[in-house]
Amino acid sequence: MSSPAGQHLRIGSLELRSPVVLAPMAGITNVAFRTLCRELELARSGSTSGLYVCEMVTARALVERQPATLHMTTFGPTETPRSLQLYTVDPATTYAAAKMIVDENMADHIDMNFGCPVPKVTSKGGGAALPYKRTLFGQIVAAAVRATEGTDIPVTVKFRVGIDDEHHTHLDAGRIAAGEGAAAVALHARTAAQRYSGTADWNEIARLKEHVTDVPVLGNGDIFAAEDAVRMMAETGCDGVVVGRGCLGRPWLFAELSAALAGTPEPTPPNLGEVASIIRRHAELLADHHGEDKGLRELRKHVAWYLRGFPAGSEMRVAMAMVSTLTELDDLLAQLDPTVPFPKDAEGPRGRQGSPGKVSLPEGWLDDPEDCLVPAGADLMHSGG
């Protein structure tokens, strides 16, 4: 299948040399992981060309300057463009958070998350439940756009196909977001009821692309290899791809994606020795960001993804999952055979999948899609989307 050679992506003032976006993932896409992805893309392809989004922060917690939230907004010294995603449920807090980002030069791009399917979020009317309230959704997007007026900071919006198969909202959400001034929209091609299970319905990305013609439409869902991105763009006509779980344990994936979408040869996947070096660099970056103790605890969840398919042995995997210092990590990594090539069975779906389920919603949520009441208690609930 031919790729869209040399494809660029413009999102408002941002000109990206590659139409690839790292999806924000809670507890994953902190400054350490983003730095690692950027370093590997630069080393393997000669440039950093996509957009790497910070893990999602709650608008209210940002405005209240909660220390943990401010720490999450850390960007690397050479990181550009700096991309920050907000979780938000009401126009006033959205405006205050976006204005704070502008006034304090905290980021170059604001993305807004309306994709989170987690029950504790949707049960309050937040995340993937909110676009059902069309008017409120439009007011929230408009508030962020208004706060960034006169700046080069574009606002983009990410959402799902809808609550469930009976309540699709993505076509309205795309139209409303573009109408309120969003510079691009991104669709995770699953409903909230699917969560992360089953397969993403790329046909819905194509439908959204046909429906929204004045801003770029990005596709998200089931991109686990470079050829998936090429196929999604060819099949749906979308303007770019958003990659989440596919890069877990594979931060070098962005170099492969950029090459495939530019029609240039893809870099060779790393052998076990190179993966060990990448794990060590990830640990070092996490220790810089969190301190060694917490940083190494954060690394543990990544280790199983990094070693997937490699002949590492159960004892090694258990020891790596309990690692607590850089010295300990060095001793373990030294025991791996550096010559083992990247295994074929390491490819394919990874990360959380789970099973579909009924979406938890506030009582009466589906009664009136034009109701503008801000969901009570949802402004501090957040997770990945």
Sign of the alpha-carbon torsion through 57, 59, 61, 63: positive
Alpha-carbon span 236 to 119, nearest angstrom: 30
CA distances (Å), origin 30, targets 62, 270, 345:
16, 23, 28
Alpha-carbon span 183 to 191, nearest angstrom: 23
In the structure encoding, which two tokens stand for residue 252, read together? 């070098």
Grouping H, G, I as helix, E, B as strand and the rest as coil, residue 317 is helix
In the structure encoding, which two tokens stand for residue 20, read together? 């690839």
Grouping H, G, I as helix, E, B as strand and the rest as coil, residue 370 is coil
Alpha-carbon span 49 to 20, nearest angstrom: 8
Angle at 85 (CA atoms; ends 51, 275), nearest 5 degrees: 50
Alpha-carbon span 324 to 298, nearest angstrom: 10
Task: Check if 54 is active-site.
Answer: no
In the set 37, 54, 116, 247, the catalytic residue is 116
Longest CA–CA separation in the chain, Å = 61
Radius of gyration of the chain (CA): 20
In the structure encoding, which two tokens stand for residue 150, read together? 């006169």
| Element of type H or E holding 269 | none
Catalytically annotated residues: 116
